[in-house]
Amino acid sequence: MPNPFKPAFLVFVLFLATFPLSVQAVPFVTLETEIAMGKEADASIIGQFGIYQDKSLQLYVNNIGQKLVSQLSDKVFPRYYFRVMDSPEINAFALPGGYVYVTRGLLALVNSEAELAGVMGHEIGHIIFHHGAKQMVRSIGAQILALGGAIASPENAGGWLAVSTALFQQINLGYGREAEIESDEHGILTGSEAGYNSYGMSKFLKSLRRKEIMSGQSYHSFQASHPETKDRIVKAGLLAGRMKTDSTEANFFQSRYLNQIRGLVYEGKKHPKDSKRYESKYVDIYEVKEGDTFQIIAKKELGDKRQDLGLTVLNGRRESSQPKPGELIKIIRSGKFKKNKTLKLESYSLLETPTNK
């Protein structure tokens, strides 16, 4: 697949030469430069991955993001943008200047609004701590100095191509142990201040860890240069335990999250130009009945009791756990979601705050 960041980061480096060095949060990079970086890269990312075509879900995710931003004592940037990308990969990332992205693949793994708030708060942390801009200076600072005033010269096209590729690889691998832990802490603190259960981030990391074990894969923000997921789980749990906020099942806001992702496309095309044929699948929500086990549900709803382990992982559960009557769980169905099929879940207005259940 073509590198979606390559054109944008070529532009990024040119901005370093054209913007004045005033009121810098990072050496050589002004806040105006960071905003310009994000704006240019945003167009490139949308073109390569595509926006997920569900207006209600886009508004819902944006609402959570804006609620988290409203808790910041210093927003740093005037505007923040939150987008759901049409990709099955489990991924969330941020770009300088206020741009946050989550994939539908990540939304399928998340099990509550509090978990999603923790992930998005983590990405907002990368933005306000200027991790992207700092990484850029560390990665290409020497090359900037070497090219000097000839940055915009066509003769340097090959050099800038190498710079942009290296920068993309750095962002995709993450910002290093300290930066990731710093952003984890920010996600937990901000989510808690916004009224979410402080254990949301910890629960998401546990789900991610089980997924890693099942698939043998790691994911962006959880890869090579990042702290091991199990270490992050411990740290996230310890910090959540120190939060002096209400930590009940109610403020995970699980059912209204599940209501929002019901019908979410599962797996399938990896990007807009992917021409492969995939079986249509979607996320559905099932209300557990008396006597149900994951194996019984897998047999009854999916036609194969051997899919019970997949159900436990999908719902962030341990293998030995079983669902309780009346609770809602995610299942994956074949076919296309029919919007006229409704399940009575708690209602949710996009104008509500997280504390208004």
Q: Looking at the 3D structure of the chain, how many domains does it have? A: 1
Indicate the length of the chain as a whole number.
357
**What pLDDT digit, counting tens, does each position of 80-122 carry?**
999 999 999 998 988 889 999 999 999 999 999 999 999 999 9
Domain contains 21:
yes
Over pLDDT 70: what percentage of the chain?
Answer: 72
In the three-class reduction of DSSP (H, G, I as helix; E, B as strand; rest coil), residue 36 is classed as helix
Domain contains 317:
no
Over pLDDT 90: what percentage of the chain?
Answer: 47
Domain contains 303:
no
36 near 15, Cβ under 8 Å? yes
* Cα gap 308→301, rounded to integer Å: 11
| Domain span holding position 212 | 6-250
Domain contains 80:
yes
* Cα gap 142→133, rounded to integer Å: 15
Domain contains 336:
no
The values of phi and psi at residue 351, to 5°, are -95, -5
pLDDT of residue 34: 82
Helix (H) or strand (E) holding 68, with range, is helix 55-69
pLDDT of residue 40: 77
Under the banding of pLDDT at 50, 70 and 90, the label for residue 227 is low
pLDDT of residue 345: 39
pLDDT at 51 over 90: yes
Residues 6+ apart with CB under 8 A from 183: 122, 123, 125, 126, 129, 131, 175
Domain contains 95:
yes
pLDDT of residue 147: 47
